[in-house]
């Protein structure tokens, strides 16, 4: 898979036995766009899942184009989404993430790009005419359960990263607010001392003038 520079991490290939593709978490600066390219054969199915982990309102623009430049998918300011499509023409497909609408917010984006249908776990499973044995059925059930566990782990990992980012952001706001309150308290205290000092100075001066 080809991509623009400055990725935050290298693509991580999916576990064996699942559909091909890659996972990637990357940094998307403000007012920037990052595109990735994947050559696909005609009739091959692909799925794009993405989620904004940190930054701003946790949203990003995303679009997918076929080799002829036709837009297959386009959404604006999405926090997360999923798109599946079967390639109608062979060639290089492009999918881009854009943060051009944001002037100050730096984003961290995760995406999972899956290519192809998942291969059967049993040989000639798609061409069998007889019913599965109890052991084969158990294998299929376990396989599906493991896939669900993998997807759930990914989901909770992203949620944990997003919640941690929000907690750190809230902690920074609280720290800045505390520093601001401390500075304001010091300014008020110094001002009060100066006012009291000037008040007693003026009183002493007035008393001395009356005595004279």
- Which CATH number is 91's domain given? 2.60.120.380
Please give the distance of CA 54 from its chain centroid, rounded to a whole number: 5
pLDDT at position 13: 47
Whether the pLDDT of residue 5 is over 70: the answer is: no
For residue 80, being part of any structural domain is answered with yes
Residues near 1 by Cβ (< 8 Å), separated by ≥ 6? 11, 22, 24, 36, 37, 38, 113
For residue 54, being part of any structural domain is answered with yes
Region of residue 104 (left: phi > 0; alpha: psi -120 to 50; beta: else): alpha
Q: What is the pLDDT of residues 149-207, one digit of tens each?
A: 877 777 777 778 777 877 887 888 888 899 989 999 999 988 888 888 887 776 666 66
Phi then psi dihedrals of residue 169, to 5 deg: -65, -45
For residue 103, being part of any structural domain is answered with yes
In 3-state terms the chain splits into helix, strand, coil percentages (rounded to 5) of: 40, 35, 30
pLDDT at position 34: 94
d(CA 148, CA 177): 43
d(CA 1, CA 85): 18
d(CA 110, CA 37): 16
For residue 199, being part of any structural domain is answered with no
Tokens of 14: 């999916």
Alpha helix ranges (H) inside the chain: 134-211
DSSP-derived 3-state class of residue 94: strand
For residue 52, being part of any structural domain is answered with yes
Q: What is the pLDDT of residues 103-124, one digit of tens each?
A: 888 899 999 998 987 766 666 6
Please give the distance of CA 93 from its chain centroid, rounded to a whole number: 22
Please give the distance of CA 192 from its chain centroid, rounded to a whole number: 49
For residue 180, being part of any structural domain is answered with no
Tokens of 143: 């396989």
Give the C-alpha distances (Å, rounded to integers) separating 68 from 72, 93, 96, 124: 11, 9, 15, 36
CB 51 within 8 A of CB 112: no
CB 8 within 8 A of CB 26: yes
Q: Specify the number of domains making up the chain.
A: 1
Greater model confidence, 48 or 161: 48
For residue 50, being part of any structural domain is answered with yes
DSSP-derived 3-state class of residue 212: coil
- Residue range of the domain that includes 113: 19-119
For residue 212, being part of any structural domain is answered with no
């Amino acid at each position: 898979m080809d991509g623009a520079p400055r990725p935050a991490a290298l693509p991580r290939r999916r576990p064996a036995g699942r559909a091909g593709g890659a996972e990637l978490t990357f940094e998307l600066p403000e007012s920037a766009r990052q595109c990735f390219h994947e050559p696909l054969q005609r009739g091959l199915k692909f799925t794009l899942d993405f989620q904004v982990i940190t930054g701003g309102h946790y949203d990003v623009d995303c679009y997918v184009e076929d080799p002829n430049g036709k837009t297959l998918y386009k959404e604006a300011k999405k926090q997360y989404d999923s798109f599946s499509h079967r390639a109608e023409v062979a060639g290089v497909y492009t999918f881009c993430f854009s943060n051009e609408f944001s002037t100050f917010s730096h984003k961290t984006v995760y995406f999972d790009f899956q290519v192809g249908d998942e291969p059967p776990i049993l040989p000639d499973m798609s061409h069998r005419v007889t019913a599965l044995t109890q052991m084969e059925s158990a294998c299929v059930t376990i396989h599906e359960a493991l896939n669900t566990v993998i997807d759930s782990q990914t989901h909770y990992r992203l949620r944990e990263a997003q919640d941690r980012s929000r907690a750190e952001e809230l902690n920074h706001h609280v720290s800045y607010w505390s520093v601001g309150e401390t500075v304001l308290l010091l300014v008020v205290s110094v001002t009060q001392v100066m006012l009291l000092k000037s008040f007693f100075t003026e009183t002493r001066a007035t008393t001395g003038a009356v005595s004279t």
